[in-house]
Structure 1
Amino acid sequence: MPRPRWALSLEANFWRNAMAAGMYLHKCASPVPPEPKFTISIPSTLSKFLGKIPLSFYVPDGYTRTSDTKYPVLVNYHGGGFTLGTASDDARWCATVNTLLNAVVISVDYRLAPEYPFPTAVEDGTDVLLWLHTHATEYAIDPARIGLSGFSAGGNMCFSVPLRLFSLQQPTPRLAAIAAFYPSTDFTSPREARRATNIRPDKELPKVFTDLFDASYLWPPKEVRMENPFLSPAMAGDADIHKALPKNVLIVLCEWDELRAEGERWRDRLTKLGLNVWSELVLGVAHGWDKAPNPVWEDRKAKEVYERVCKQLGKVFYGPDWKLPLDVKVKSELKDIPVVTASTQEKARVKPVPV
């Protein structure tokens, strides 16, 4: 029998407070990531739950809304199983994008389950793109250079949101790129089966979290169709994928992750469909490793992965010959990493960077 919604809400709020404490520690390490430059709220239009969707703007140095420069933008969706998390959780990623790409990041505080179950998160994420389609120039954003990024559940939204956007059959922004970090893509596979794919079961997501996520978001349980592509993008048809997704897709996967296998299947399918797929399998890390609550030092491996992703995004936003600005110095070598396929996976592996 499903747990009552009030009980799920109590549990979710307990873990939201615990996660907030962990994220506070995560952001204490030097260099301390910036706060958003400003926040606004836009109205929801697609969800049956009417309300506001807060947006946090992380911007590069020199940005002003009245600037003659039109900036590329990443719309970012945070992780947390559609149940936990906030728009500020990815502040280190946002700062990297601001610095290396001279781009704006709009981080989305989409509404969370169990108070707002499926498909509210996807509809909120889609509403942001609809809003951006008509307001880009007001915020000095180049409408031809709009990308998506996201982590875990937010990685799912990187694919489910474009599919939902395409389903509207109305003028919408054309996306330039997707950068998805350890995304969930296929809810048709039960949790037990997904866990069984993890080569390090001791590193998997605690069951208390995944049970909460699924009970909260997939509600009412007898009415949610797991094969719905707005929930499981891997269930979308080839034609819809071609029409909805941008040509350029970047996917970062974790070696010790129950979502790795479905991420690899999704990556390989997109590659076979002719999309320009860049992928990295990060060795020696578990799901969400880059959000560790370490108040002493920034995770070097996470920093270098962020930098490599930004290098690839820079080629999309600025052209194939784009290079990092001369006044930007990074510690890692930004090498092109080949697309990782099932046949080349072992060849593509590199030694983990010590942290």
Structure 2
Amino acid sequence: MLHPQVTAAAQLRRRPSSEELSADPYQRLLGVRAAMEESNEAETGPALPLPVVADFDADGVPCRLYATRVGGPVLVYLHGGGWCYGSIETVDRFCRRVAERSGCAVVSVGYRLAPEHVFPAAVDDAETVLRYLRKSGTELGLDPARIAIGGDSAGGQIATVTARRQRDAVTPLDYQVLIYPALDPLTSSESYDELGEYGLDRASMRLAWETFVPDPMLRLTPDVAPLAVADLSGMPPTLVITAEYDALRDEGADYADALIAAGVPVVHTRYMGVNHGFARKLATIDAARAAADQVASALRSALTF
């Protein structure tokens, strides 16, 4: 059963006006972006104060650092939003809670969005940030020898593609956190048929994939479709979080199973009664706080040795 908190949280976001609905596709997209930012504080709550919250530039990529101590490991985090929406601000409260409870620093990445910047811009930005942290992380008070990567939804896709590319470059990451990741450009799983009425449907995901990767010939390449990767061995230990009422539920579960089959240590947790996007809504959905705390606990166990 869908939790009443999910229904209540959905009412906080402004619905597109008739003018926005009748506008050209790009103007409609701008309207959705604005609505997500406008509802952010109501959905996510007040900012948790931390010793360090600082914006910085990682060789051209805007980032925000959250830290509670000097010399700790770091999670590089990629926000969700269908590769077209979202920002450092929309995951600010989530990143603060994870940093405060894990003892790890969090670097939130303001990667370039589609359609202004299509694939591979977002992946390039993630890799730029990793190179910067390995080169200059100690100057930021971080331990560049202990780096995890994570993200939600589209950010989960960017995160695990980047993790696989780092594996192939023999610069492996230590851990990955994938929160209801978007992994299947074909939108082929049964959960799309069963759960499309709960806030995210097949049509909207197809549009997101097409906007992010306009060239259909690229959509089943390993840098776009993680489930198409033939060999997942050597990927970092992984936490996968999925949601019961999420159209992306099955592809996240399938990827967790594929990682396990490849010998990768995996914890897969399905949060019941919630839908896509729940994890950042700390002020409105109890499960969001539980998910953030699970991420923090996993990072603390994996990285704070």
Q: Same fold (TM over 0.5)?
A: yes
Higher gyration radius (CA): 1
Amino acid at match of 2:298: Q
Distance 1:24 1:208 in 2: 28
Q: Displacement, 1:209?
A: 4.0
1:178 is paired with a residue of what secondary structure? strand
2:121 maps to 120
1:218 maps to 213
| Counterparts in 2 of 1:33 and 1:216: CA distance versus 1, 3 Å | farther
2:303 is paired with a residue of what secondary structure? helix
1:251 is paired with a residue of what secondary structure? strand
Q: Which one of 233, 238, 260 corresponds to residue 242 of structure 1?
A: 233
2:76 maps to 75
Deviations 1:99-130 (A, max 9, x none): 11222110000000000011111111111111
Amino acid at match of 1:81: G
Stretches of structure 1 lacking an aligned partner (at least 5 in a row): 1-5, 44-51, 64-68, 320-355
2:263 maps to 274
1:59 maps to 67
Say if 2:56 is the partner of 1:40: yes
Stretches of structure 2 lacking an aligned partner (at least 5 in a row): 1-22
Determine if contact 2:104/2:299 at 8 Å carries over to the other structure: no
Q: Which one of 228, 235, 255 corresponds to residue 221 of structure 2?
A: 228
Determine if contact 2:191/2:249 at 8 Å carries over to the other structure: no
Determine if contact 1:195/1:204 at 8 Å carries over to the other structure: no
Distance 1:176 1:262 in 2: 23
Amino acid at match of 1:152: S
Q: Displacement, 1:149?
A: 1.5
2:221 is paired with a residue of what secondary structure? coil
1:92 maps to 93
Amino acid at match of 1:95: R
Distance 2:253 2:206 in 1: 24
Matches within 5 A, 1:1-355: 7-27=24-44, 29=45, 31-34=46-49, 37-43=53-59, 52-60=60-68, 63=69, 69-167=70-168, 169=169, 172=171, 174-187=172-185, 189=186, 191=187, 193-194=188-189, 197-206=192-201, 209-219=204-214, 221-222=215-216, 224-238=217-231, 241-243=232-234, 245-246=235-236, 248-292=237-281, 297-319=283-305
Determine if contact 1:8/1:212 at 8 Å carries over to the other structure: no
Determine if contact 1:254/1:287 at 8 Å carries over to the other structure: yes
Determine if contact 1:8/1:216 at 8 Å carries over to the other structure: no
| Counterparts in 2 of 1:89 and 1:195: CA distance versus 1, 3 Å | farther
Q: Displacement, 1:39?
A: 1.0
Question: What TM-score, normalized to structure 2?
Answer: 0.84
Deviations 1:224-271 (A, max 9, x none): 422111111111121xx324x21x100000111111111111111111
2:263 is paired with a residue of what secondary structure? coil
Distance 1:42 1:101 in 2: 23
Question: What TM-score, normalized to structure 1?
Answer: 0.73
Determine if contact 1:160/1:233 at 8 Å carries over to the other structure: yes
Instruction: Give the length in aligned residue pairs.
Output: 282
1:242 is paired with a residue of what secondary structure? coil
Distance 2:219 2:183 in 1: 11
| Counterparts in 2 of 1:143 and 1:235: CA distance versus 1, 3 Å | same
| Counterparts in 2 of 1:206 and 1:18: CA distance versus 1, 3 Å | farther
Determine if contact 1:126/1:162 at 8 Å carries over to the other structure: no
Determine if contact 1:77/1:151 at 8 Å carries over to the other structure: yes
